[in-house]
Amino acid sequence: MTKIIKSNISLDEPLEKRELEKAISEKEKKLNTLIEKIEQLKIDLTIVKQEYDVKVGRLYLKLDELDLEILKFKKIEDLINKGLSFEEAQKIVEETLRKRREQIKEEYKKLGEEEKEIESRKSISEEEKEELKKLWYKLAHKYHPDKASGNEEMMKKINKAYTEGDLETLRVIDQGEIGNGVEVKTIKALKNKLERLEKSINKISQEFEQLKKSEWYILKENIKKAKKQKRDILSELADKVLSDIAKKENQVGELKKKYGQR
Amino acid sequence: MDKDRQIQKIPKYSIDKIVAKSALATRGLRELGLLKDKKHFTIIYVCQFCGRLINYSSTPCIFCGNFPKTKREVIIAQALSSESMEIDSLLAISKAVKDDEDLEITIANLRNLIDEILENPSEFKNYPPLFKLTELLLNNPDTDDRAEEVTSKTKMFCDRCGNEVILANKPCFYCTVGKNEGDKKLENNLTPLQKNIIALNGFLLFAENYLDFSNDKDATTELIFVSIYALNRLLEKDELPNMDLKKYWRDLLLRSEYFGSEKTLNAGIEIDSTGKPSIVMGSEKDKVSSKALNEMIRLVENILYFLKS
């Protein structure tokens, strides 16, 4: 009896292995497709965010600066009403607002960096764009954190290079890549691999759904929809904020006049 | 744009993650009318005096007992609401108030809005009834007593050590953690009403002070709104949450799946498919602080009680 059972196992084992390998191959394909989809979406959303920040975000920051300027005069007025001189009041208020002014400066700096990325993307040729995309796909498949050979830090570097149009960095990473090594193919190892793949597929699918709920996705879809109607909603929004800026600039102008342009 | 909803920015708040909210983006989306569909269970506010998230803007805060007493304070109370800004901004304001920051600087256009409403009240129809309500509350001799009655319910202290009771269904945290086995046999003699208050308050305190990520941000946001509503009912009406409300809360918790504090505590909780929460701490051992562990224990224990009760 024992012998027969043993014999069955040895007959079934290759079959089970083949079936597991087939399932793994299918899951790997599915995972690769999902990785391409999600990483592409992340990059698309980064680009939408950068364009929004440069076209509109910059204007909102300007609005913040003006609001802060108006607030400065109002707070100075409060202190003058309490008996302080303009100079004394200004000194106190400037100190109170210093931290926030520094934050706005930092935000401008970040916007400047995004602007540079947009410029460097524009400056590469069509052939280079094609090579960039091919290299990115290849490296994203290898280094995606949900793959066995994954590396989160490397993936961030790859995506950053792609959004910046930095072909050289992708080439260097590609040349330096190390082989996969030898894989042990016992039934237990295959089952574990299959389980890991299923988990990764679930995780990425969920992440993908979350991204589709993000404000940048909403914006991306609406930009696309508006484009079909030959509208540029970012420019429309920028015009609206610009008109708010003009009003606030007037208000600041009046306040400056009131305090003798001090 | 509706003047009553002018405040929509918290300049100090920004997150690098692409899935996270960005104050600048949210302002643009609101301006474009793309956020209109986001309706929540109730409207919530940040108390301008203590920074806690609350359900009503004009009546005494259920945590500190304060309420807007001047027109200026009424306008601020209205501005700090989920009708005017997203949950990220509300949580940032909650922290700003707790840190004693000047709200006029945190929200740079707040002062302008206050002055505008005070100068032309007839243009802002929502405010005169609210000013009237404030007047009525100020003239009502029972207001302070009622406020004290409600706020006292949120403050429960251990008879033995005098510390605040922070675990809904376990003996006093401070008397048991790190103490010998005998001490761990202490009893928790709280009523179901008190236990529910502690459980929900514990969850909300975690959200206000630490929450910065979630697998499903919409679900976790809604969970905060429902918790505020339920806690308010417990304190104001002594009303235990009914089965439907609990089921809704549980479903939202399940949908949230994994949430926590990446920046401050480096820890989160994962909810499995049966609703059981478990603590996930940061990967590097040296980064796990006892504060983080204590906060996560508090969160999990309180969630567990609220789910089972």
Contact B22 A61 (CB under 8 A): no
Residue B172 token pair? 């006093």
Predicted interface score ipTM higher than 0.85: no
Chain B contact for A57, CB < 8 A? Answer: yes
Confidence of residue A59 (pLDDT cuts 50, 70, 90): very high
Radius of gyration, CA atoms only, chain A: 29
Give A56's contacts in chain B (Cβ within 8 Å).
Answer: 24, 28
* pTM of the predicted structure, to 2 decimals: 0.79
Instruction: Please give, rounded to a whole number of angstroms, the shortest distance from the CA of A216 to a CA of chain B.
Output: 8
Q: What is the pLDDT of residues B229-248, one digit of tens each?
A: 999 999 988 888 899 999 99
Return the pLDDT at B21: 41
Residue B226, pLDDT > 90, answer yes
CB contact under 8 A, A46 and B18: yes
Distance CA A198, CA B55 (A): 43
Quote the pLDDT of residue A223: 92
The answer to whether residue B187 scores a pLDDT higher than 90 is no
Reported as a single tens digit per residue, the pLDDT across A93-109 is: 999 999 889 988 988 99
Distance CA(B183)–CA(B185), nearest Å, equals 5
Per-residue pLDDT at B48: 96
d(C-alpha B202, C-alpha B8), whole Å: 28
Chain B contact present for A70, CB below 8 A: yes
The packing angle between helices A58-81 and A86-122, to 10°, is 180
What is the per-residue pLDDT for B288? 65
Q: Determine contact, residues A203/A31, Cβ cutoff 8 Å.
A: no
Cα–Cα distance measured from residue B4 to residue B2, given in angstroms and rounded to the nearest whole number: 5
CA distance B28 to chain A (A): 7
**In the predicted structure, residue A145 carries a pLDDT above the cut 90:** no
Pair type for strands B45-46 and B53-54: antiparallel
Distance of CA B246 to the CA centre of its chain: 18
Q: Which residue has the tokens 């910046």?
A: A164
Averaged pLDDT score across all residues of chain B: 83
A219 to B111: CB separation less than 8 angstroms, yes or no: no
pLDDT tens, residue by residue, B3-19? 333 333 322 222 233 33
How many CB atoms sit inside 10 A of residue B115's CB? Answer: 14
**pLDDT at site B53:** 96
**Disruptive mutation site among A39, A54, A71, A218 for chain B (greatest number of B CBs within 10 Å):** A71
Q: Which of residues 124-143 of B touch A (CB under 8 A)?
A: none
Q: Is the pLDDT of residue A51 over 60?
A: yes
| Residues B90, B51 contacting (CB under 8 angstroms) | no
**Which residue type occupies B53?**
L
Residue in chain B closest to A43 (alpha carbons) equals B18
DSSP code at position A182:
P
Q: Is B215–A206 a contact, with Cβ atoms under 8 angstroms apart?
A: yes
A220 touches chain B (CB under 8 A): no
pLDDT value of position A119 = 81
- What angle, 0 to 180 degrees and rounded to 10, lies between the N-to-C axes of helices A86-122 and A2-52? 120
Q: Given this model, what pLDDT does residue B94 score?
A: 93
- Do B19 and A233 lie within an 8 Å CB cutoff? no
CB pairs under 8 A between A and B: 88
**Tens of pLDDT along B34-82?**
766 567 888 999 999 999 999 998 899 999 999 999 999 999 999 998 8
pLDDT per position as a tens digit, A150-195:
777 788 788 878 877 778 888 878 876 544 445 567 888 888 888 8
What is the per-residue pLDDT across A209-227, written as a single tens digit (0 to 9) for each? 888 888 888 889 999 999 9
Give me B117's structure tokens: 């409403």
Nearest CA in chain B to A211: B19
